[in-house]
Amino acid sequence: MTERSAKLNILKFVKIVSFSLLLVILGFFVAATVRTLTFDVNAGLQLAHWEKTNNIASDINQHQREELLANFRDAIRIPTVSTTETQLNTTALREFDGLLRKAFPTVFSSHLVQHEVVANYSHLFWVPGSDLALVPYMLLAHIDVVPAEERDGWEAPPFSAKEINGFIYGRGTIDNKQSVMGILQALEYLLIRGYSPRRGFFIGLGHDEEVSGFQGAMNIVRVLKKKGVQLAFVLDEGLAVLDGVISGLEGPAALIGISEKGLATVKLSVSKAPGHSSMPPRESSIGILAGAVKRLEENPMPRLFGEGPERGTFEHLAHKFRLPLKFVMSNMWLFSPLLGRVMERRPDTNAFVRTTTAITMFNSGVKVNILPSQAEAYVNLRIHSAQSLQEVLELIQSTVGDERVKMELVDGFDPLPVSSYDETSFGFQIIKKTVLDQFPQVTVAPGICIGNTDSRHYTDLAKDIYRFAPTWFRPGDAQRFHGINERISKKNYEELVVFYFNLIQNCDIKDLPSPHSAGHEL
């Protein structure tokens, strides 16, 4: 270590110690004057007795291990790519239909399962329960994937399902064919072992989620509405088990999405008379638009960290941080502005701090010597729970601040309602129990899904919508999502099958334990 770097390290250490001291002193000062400080908001978890059920054990033998993996790899090899609402690979979607029927013969032949194809390529399954008094639930996943090109830097061709060091590589391995195949594989094994549910359930597999779900999910919802269906809860893709992803957190965290951010896709355009490039005006359509886009990037939306349900995430996880972070997380009412400033430094954590602004498309010009008549840019914003679509549109307009820039809302909606996650919340507690039974080392917490899912179309059918699958994300894995080298370990895929196998059976529980009874931790 050089003298200079040693000095820097000492300086860093002194800074951290004085910063921690400052936090504690500040905390006590505010506590004395305003309200009570807590050392650990999550310390008083209730213990409870779960209803005894005779769940079928989820043992997987070697033959099944090979079979489930082969089915999954076949699914990855079919390029069910959605590019735009009108550009879907319908040949691949049809082939995928054939694969499902071949891979899950019991699901498609059992008298216990009703199946229908919706909007040509989506699938709706209904498994009635024996107890009609129990409100059914629904599992969702999507068949389509975003485009992928090997030349972008993939270690294996994106539709090869190649195995490298125990991982299956391919587009769709974590978004979201692991759930499509995991759910149906679990149902196949349950049916083979003679299971018939007490609580009925639906499975919805959309074919156009990656381009908004206007055909698949929306038509499945229409079918269900016509039947007058109401759902106890919906479980869709979304958050995951984060292992080593949240700095300072001891052990992995399973974040169950209780809401998702809103969305605004805005088209900005500038029109100018075309002409010869030898006589350019002082400002071109491209220059005016570039200025507007630059202002949007330089003026991010306000920091709102702690003003939405993300506050609950950190309060739930607080007891898994060491001091002084444990103290900070337990007193979010005081420290969230400070935490927001730290979190905004990384793109993945900034997503929880504010409405994010991404310029995703920029088009103009047709020839080197023609002044472009039109320049257009698309801005894709993900709206924080504490803001509305209308507020965001007004902020964009004032930041752009140029009447020559036309603004058009292409697609948009408010942040989704927050689903319940307290001790009386059936869906949340059943998902949590299933996760903890399988992964006892994990801390379960509510989270905000920063992307959008098909489940947003289901708000009229269910008050409680959750976004989660036990896909394990380690540092760097979030970048594989819609990125290169998307992959899942063979072990993790098997765990997903087991998770759905147990979840379906756990949903047969009639009532949650009363919060004050002793026994299993809720």
Asked if 370 contacts 285 with a C-beta cutoff of 8 angstroms, the reply is no
CA-CA-CA-CA torsion sign (359, 365, 371, 376): negative
CB burial string 400-415: b at 16+ within 10 A, e below: beeeebeeeeeebebb
Asked if 107 contacts 188 with a C-beta cutoff of 8 angstroms, the reply is yes
Q: Give whichever of 254 and 504 is closer to ligand LPI3TWQA, judged by the CB atom.
A: 254
| Residue 83 to residues 87, 88, 156, 237, 462, Cα–Cα distance (Å) | 5, 6, 21, 20, 29
Q: How far is residue 349's CA from residue 445's CA, in Å, rounded to a whole number?
A: 16
Looking at 220-228, 232-240, 356-364, 394-402, which segment touches ligand LPI3TWQA (CB under 6 A)? Answer: 232-240
- Active-site residue, 144 included: yes
Neighbour count for residue 302 (Cβ, 10 Å):
15
- Active-site residue, 209 included: yes
CB of 38 to ligand LPI3TWQA, least distance (A): 20
Q: Please tell me whether 115 is known to bind a ligand.
A: no
Q: Does 453 bind ligand LPI3TWQA (CB under 6 A)?
A: yes
Looking at 39-47, 178-186, 290-298, 445-453, which segment touches ligand LPI3TWQA (CB under 6 A)? Answer: 445-453
Contact characters 107-136, ligand LPI3TWQA, x per CB under 6 A: ------------------------------
CB of 217 to ligand LPI3TWQA, least distance (A): 10
354's CB contacts (< 8 A; 6+ apart) are: 300, 301, 302, 303, 304, 305, 344, 384
Q: Which of 424, 453, 468, 447 is CA-nearest to residue 309?
A: 447
Helix (H, G, I), strand (E, B) or coil at 57: coil
57's CB contacts (< 8 A; 6+ apart) are: none
Q: Give whichever of 291 and 412 is closer to ligand LPI3TWQA, judged by the CB atom.
A: 412
Catalytic residue among 97, 209, 454, 508: 209
Q: What angle do CA 277, 283, 285 make, to 5 degrees?
A: 80
CB of 287 to ligand LPI3TWQA, least distance (A): 28
Contact characters 254-293, ligand LPI3TWQA, x per CB under 6 A: ---------x-x----------------------------
Residue in the shown chain whose Cβ atom is closest to ligand LPI3TWQA: 451
Within 13 Å, how many C-alpha atoms sit on residue 469's CB side?
30
Q: How far is residue 201's CA from residue 461's CA, in Å, rounded to a whole number?
A: 13
At residue 335, φ and ψ (nearest 5 deg) are: -100, -5
Of the candidates 141, 181, 246, 304, which one interacts with ligand LPI3TWQA according to CB under 6 A? 246
Of the candidates 185, 212, 269, 284, which one interacts with ligand LPI3TWQA according to CB under 6 A? 212
Q: Give whichever of 176 and 506 is closer to Zn ion, judged by the CB atom.
A: 176
Q: Please tell me whether 482 is known to bind a ligand.
A: yes
Q: Please tell me whether 175 is known to bind a ligand.
A: yes
Q: Can you tell me which residue has the tokens 């958050």?
A: 239
Q: Please tell me whether 236 is known to bind a ligand.
A: yes
Paired residues of 243 in beta bridges: none
Asked if 275 contacts 503 with a C-beta cutoff of 8 angstroms, the reply is no
Q: Does 211 bind ligand LPI3TWQA (CB under 6 A)?
A: yes
Q: Give whichever of 197 and 262 is closer to Zn ion, judged by the CB atom.
A: 262
Q: Give whichever of 162 and 467 is closer to ligand LPI3TWQA, judged by the CB atom.
A: 467
Of the candidates 250, 411, 422, 521, which one interacts with ligand LPI3TWQA according to CB under 6 A? 411
Q: Does 175 bind Zn ion (CB under 5 A)?
A: yes
Q: Give whichever of 238 and 513 is closer to Zn ion, judged by the CB atom.
A: 238
Show binding-site residues for Zn(2+).
142, 175, 210, 236, 482
Supply the residues annotated as catalytic: 144, 209
Where on the chain is the footprint of ligand LPI3TWQA (CB under 6 A)? 210-212, 237-238, 240, 242, 245-246, 263, 265, 348-349, 352, 411, 449-453, 478, 481
